[in-house]
A and B are shown apart, each in its own frame.
Chain A
Amino acid sequence: MAVLNITYNGMSADYPLDVQVALSDVDVKRIAVEVVRAGGLRGLQVPNLPDNAFDNFVIDRFDRGERIYLRPKVPFGSLSCDCECECES
């Protein structure tokens, strides 16, 4: 059984995915929205979570897809560093 870990707004929780077929990124994000809305994750319930909450998130798959991580992007900086803060990460 695959485990989906969702990180949202600084909180993180696991959800067991009882499915036998490979899930696309779109499927994973849709399931995540439904689970977080429904309160299926301890400590991570957002009843009014918008449909597009995870549109810009990244999905990492480990252990041949048995562990799936849905997480925010960690922008690895810009091609030419021109951010306002001018600091290195």
Chain B
Amino acid sequence: MRILICGVGALGSTAAWFCRNLDAELAFVDFDKVESKNVMAQCFVKASIGKNKAEALKAQMLTFFGVKCEAFSVKLAETNVEQLCGRADLIVDAFDNIASRMVLSAYAKKTGKALVHAAVSGDGTFGIVRWDEHFAPDAEDAAGQATCEGGEHLPLIGVLGSSIARVIQDFAKDGTKRDVMISLRDVRTTA
């Protein structure tokens, strides 16, 4: 099984960390670079600062765990979605922008690819993992609303990242598709 994690910031990199023992081929897409503040909220080490996030995560997975992954240091768009996602059996949307999420959703609907979305509330108290079959993006209260700050939401991100990994694990095992909601109090299966 090939799993493509799209966006390896706080959620994507944390989920990838917990997917390291899966019997699966992992691949990452992210055009962004690791900044010094990212090491406080995302699974990157100081040595990765300045490197592309997808490439840095790939290098870390190999260095720390001996897990070989593939990295694409590009911005996902309609023009390259087939090239990036075509070989994936599961696509994980951990992007931070609705445009890229909608590109993935449209592609999944068109091709029948399995796609799961993950997102965290702006105040870091709540998160969702939801399959594309039930996906509808929430409207923003304000344009450009930030969904993460420099490590402030790290505990919730940890729970959410591991929940994403569990959802991936269940799907990889027998095709089960679970939706979950995560609060500071509980992790709840909703579908």
Contacts and interface: CB of A to CB of B under 8 A. Distances in A.
Nearest to B11: A89
A87 B185 contact: no
Q: Which of B9, B37, B118, B146 has the most CB of A within 10 A?
A: B146
B32 A10 contact: no
A9 B144 contact: no
A68 to B, nearest CB: 11
Contact of A80 (B97, B148, B184): B97
Given A10-B126, A89-B119, A75 B184 contact: no
A10 B184 CA distance: 5
Given A78-B143, A85-B149, A87-B96, A72 B125 contact: yes
A58 B42 CA distance: 27
A85 B38 CA distance: 9
B98 A76 contact: yes
Interface string B84-97: 00000000001111
Interface string B102-144: 0000000000000001111111011110000000011111011
Interface string A1-35: 00001010111110000000000000000000000
Interface of A is mostly: loop
Given A58-B138, A87-B41, A88-B7, A76 B32 contact: no
B143 A69 contact: no
A89 B96 contact: yes
B53 to A, nearest CB: 7
> Which of the four size classes fits the interface of chain B?
35 or more
B97 A71 contact: no
Contact of A87 (B140, B143, B148): B148
A2 to B, nearest CB: 14
Given A78-B98, A88-B32, A89-B12, A73 B141 contact: yes
Contact of A75 (B9, B11, B30, B122): B122
B83 interface: no
Would you list the 5 A-B pairs with minimal beta carbon distance, nearest first? A88-B9, A10-B184, A10-B125, A77-B97, A88-B7
Interface of B: 7-12, 30, 32, 35, 37-38, 41-42, 53, 94-101, 117-123, 125-128, 137-141, 143-150, 156, 181, 183-186, 188, 190-191
